[in-house]
């Protein structure tokens, strides 16, 4: 009995302690709310005092703000009594510039109206300037390349149509500047060996002349190898000398990403891996990747990097468009999820096939005459006849592209913009490379970003039905079952 009474008393004391703790917590919360309310009241009083002060600018340059019992400011004249002046705080308002003389006769409402009108005017000016020079930065997204920390825009400026002998320096400068101002922070210098060297020299001169912050953009170049005796294969010597030459031509301290163009079956992967890791450790490059490698080769390269404790590749550059889908849609997501290799897509227009198809629709065949070579009337918009002598594959391709062009017309865009938006609709594509010879071509292609919200599930299903080439993973065949 005594033990039960002791337990009951202990339980009662615990309950009382718990109740006292709850009351203390409630009191602390109430005290905190009161302090916040007092702070808010003081801030409101200060703001109201400032409003009264601004409102009285037209009357006098010397004001007094007595603090009354209610906490609100109260304005009095300069001729207050001595006792009142001891209870008030004296505030003088010197004129810092003659520019404010026009506002001395304005009341608070008039000043607010002026500020609102100025804000509206600024907004209108911003909208009009955006209409005059198209600003498409709202459509850009910045994503990490692979599973690295490098963030780039989902559109990159490529070189296969920008840097060539037919474009002068002024056009080059205009395209690069337009891309940078639009928010693009990735410049790709990946083409053939000769054109890549020329592109590096030209872009290096532009970047040096513009003097942009180095952290605001990234540069990608490639290591090309061919069958010349001194540059054959991906030897350590060729890789290191190629990167050093690219750094000198670009007039930069380092290159952000270096890609290895195609795998070399005659060179050991260990030599390539150690050479790229040496360049990273020396600070000549920040990251490296591959281009036109098979998924198996990329996996083997990654395995060699892990075994040798070297830096791993962060991306694979692959061709991807409506007519080439298997590698990107089946194997690249698996590479990203397993080993963190991202995807940079190129050639969204199928190596110029789509623009050339549009031109072919605008002109009839050579055995027929037409009034104008640039018109697009109803006869030109008819699908190609199946009785012609073209190969079956080419005829089917024309029919497919013709149906896609009709969807583009319905969406109010061009075929080029639709293809760009379709490519970016794939979440596996972290960056898409676009080339342009003029600023007009660049802005036209960049408008494809604004088409992304229109590509809903119904439109994508219709495009999928027209293309009818969705890749399917081949079935896994067990050698044991074949025995």
The pLDDT tens digits for 1-27 are 666 666 667 767 777 777 777 777 787
Question: Tens digit of pLDDT for each residue in 425-475?
Answer: 999 999 999 988 899 999 999 999 999 999 999 999 999 999 999 998 888
What is the structure's pLDDT at 85? 43
The domain ranges of the chain are 50-85+107-112, 139-351+426-446
Residue identified by tokens 């629709």 is 361
At residue 56, does pLDDT exceed 70? no
Highest mean pLDDT among 130-139, 196-205, 282-291: 282-291
Class of residue 421 by CB neighbours under 10 A (exposed 0-12, middle 13-18, buried 19+): buried
Write out the H or E segment, with its range, that includes residue 66: strand 62-66
Comparing 62-76, 115-129, 458-472, the range with the smallest average pLDDT is 62-76
What value does the mean pLDDT of the chain take?
Answer: 75
pLDDT digits (tens, 9 = 90+) for 217-235: 999 999 987 655 555 678 9
Pairing verdict, β 62-66 and 255-261: unpaired
Q: 111: how many CB neighbours lie within 10 A of its CB?
A: 15
Flag whether pLDDT at 283 surpasses 50: yes
Indicate the range of 278-292, 295-309, 437-451 predicted with least confidence: 437-451
Please say whether the beta carbons of 336 and 342 come within 8 A: yes
Identify the pLDDT of residue 374: 27
CA–CA gap between residue 443 and residue 336 (Å, rounded): 31
Asked whether the beta carbons of 184 and 155 are under 8 A apart, the reply is yes
Contacting residues for 239 by C-beta, under 8 A, at least 6 apart: 223, 260, 272, 275, 276, 279
pLDDT > 90 in the chain, percent: 45
Residue 44: the pLDDT is 63
Q: How far apart are CA 164 and CA 186, in angstroms?
A: 19
Task: For 143, list phi and psi in degrees, rounded to 5.
Answer: -130, 155
Place of tokens 């005659």: 266
437 CB neighbour count, 10 Å cutoff: 16
Residues 6+ apart with CB under 8 A from 468: 400
Greater model confidence, 114 or 460: 460
Concatenate the DSSP letters of all residues of 118-152 into one string.
HHHHHHHHHHHHHHHS---GGG--EEESTTSS-EE
The answer to whether 357 and 344 are in contact (CB under 8 A) is no
For domain 139-351+426-446, give the fold.
TIM Barrel (3.20.20)
Residues with Cβ within 8 Å of 171's Cβ and at least 6 positions away in sequence, in order, are: 437, 438
104 confidence band (pLDDT: 50, 70, 90): very low
Tokens 């790229």 — which residue? 276
Q: What is the C-alpha separation between 131 and 119, in angstroms, rounded? A: 19
Is residue 294 pLDDT above 90, yes or no? yes
Could you give the CA distance from residue 171 to residue 399 in angstroms, rounded to a whole number? 36
Asked if residues 348 and 158 have their Cβ atoms less than 8 Å apart, the reply is no
Give me the count of residues in the chain: 483
Strand (E) or helix (H) holding 223: strand 218-223
CA 215 – CA 219 distance, rounded (Å)? 11
Coil, strand or helix: which one is 7? Answer: helix
């Amino acid at each position: 009995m005594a033990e039960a009474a002791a337990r009951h008393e202990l339980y009662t004391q615990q309950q009382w302690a718990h109740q006292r703790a709850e009351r203390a917590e409630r009191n602390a919360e109430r005290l905190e709310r009161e302090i916040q309310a007092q702070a808010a009241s003081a801030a409101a009083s200060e703001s109201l005092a400032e409003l009264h002060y601004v409102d009285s600018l037209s009357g006098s340059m010397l004001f007094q703000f007595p603090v009354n019992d209610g906490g609100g400011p109260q304005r009095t004249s300069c001729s207050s009594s001595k006792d009142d002046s001891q209870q008030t705080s004296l505030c003088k308002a010197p004129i810092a510039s003659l520019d404010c003389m026009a506002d001395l006769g304005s009341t608070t409402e008039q000043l607010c109206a002026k500020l609102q009108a100025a804000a509206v005017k600024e907004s209108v000016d911003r909208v009009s300037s955006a209409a005059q020079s198209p600003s498409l930065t709202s459509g850009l997204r910045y994503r990490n390349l692979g599973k690295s920390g490098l963030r780039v825009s989902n559109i990159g400026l490529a070189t296969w149509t920008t840097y060539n002998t037919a474009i002068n320096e002024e056009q080059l400068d205009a395209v690069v500047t337009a891309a940078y101002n639009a928010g693009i922070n990735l410049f790709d210098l990946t083409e053939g060996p000769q054109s890549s060297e020329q592109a590096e020299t030209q872009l290096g001169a532009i970047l040096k002349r513009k003097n942009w912050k180095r952290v605001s953009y990234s540069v990608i170049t490639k290591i090309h190898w061919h069958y010349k005796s001194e540059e054959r294969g991906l030897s350590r010597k060729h890789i290191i000398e190629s990167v050093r030459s690219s750094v000198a031509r670009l007039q930069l301290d380092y290159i952000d990403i270096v890609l290895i163009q195609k795998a070399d079956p005659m060179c050991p992967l260990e030599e390539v891996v150690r050479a790229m890791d040496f360049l990273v450790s020396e600070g000549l490059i920040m990251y490296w990747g591959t281009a036109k490698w098979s998924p198996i080769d990329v996996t083997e390269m990654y395995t060699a990097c892990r075994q040798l404790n070297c830096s791993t590749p962060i991306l694979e550059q692959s061709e991807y468009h409506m007519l080439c889908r298997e590698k990107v849609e089946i194997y690249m997501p698996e590479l990203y999820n397993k080993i963190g290799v991202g995807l940079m897509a190129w050639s969204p227009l199928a190596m110029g096939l789509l623009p050339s198809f549009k031109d072919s629709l605008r002109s009839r065949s050579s055995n027929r005459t037409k009034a104008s070579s640039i018109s697009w009337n109803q006869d030109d918009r008819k699908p190609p006849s199946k009785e012609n002598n073209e190969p079956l594959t080419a005829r089917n391709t024309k029919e497919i592209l013709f149906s896609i062009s009709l969807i583009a017309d319905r969406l109010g865009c061009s075929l080029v913009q639709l293809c760009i938006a379709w490519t970016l609709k794939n979440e596996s594509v972290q960056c898409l490379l676009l080339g342009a010879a003029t600023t007009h071509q660049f802005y036209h292609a960049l408008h494809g970003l604004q088409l992304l919200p229109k590509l809903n599930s119904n439109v994508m299903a219709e495009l999928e039905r027209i293309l009818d080439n969705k890749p399917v993973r081949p079935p896994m065949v067990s050698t044991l079952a074949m025995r």
